[in-house]
A = this chain, B = another copy of it.
């Protein structure tokens, strides 16, 4: 989902912000995959977007972390019309439970090698 296509977000030196979205899916699939892909594409075009990392295990638990320059950028993305409609369907149809956390990244490092 990163520009590099390896699943890692290329983020700048901290500080920046992370939205940690942990979800468990219902069995309802109607347009979920298509909408999730569309939201990733749409997020990437928003001001202040830095990157995204996302995965879902065979047990149905998913974690998506998106990275942003500022709380203002996160607030604007949350209020985006098409995203709002997807959020509503998520609550109504796609997620049996989710936890959403907004955090300020203060330190970051990588290893064991260059990508």
* Residues of chain A at the chain B interface (Cβ within 8 Å): 6-9, 11, 14, 18, 20, 22, 24, 53-59, 61-63, 65, 90-92, 95-113, 115
Contacts and interface: CB of A to CB of B under 8 A. Distances in A.
B53 A56 contact: no
Say how many copies of this protein the assembly contains: 2
A62 to B, nearest CB: 6
A54 to B, nearest CB: 8
Given A11-B101, A97-B111, A98-B110, 11 more contacts: A8-B22, A11-B99, A18-B20, A18-B101, A55-B55, A55-B62, A63-B65, A91-B112, A97-B110, A97-B112, A100-B110
Contact of A20 (B6, B20, B61, B102): B20
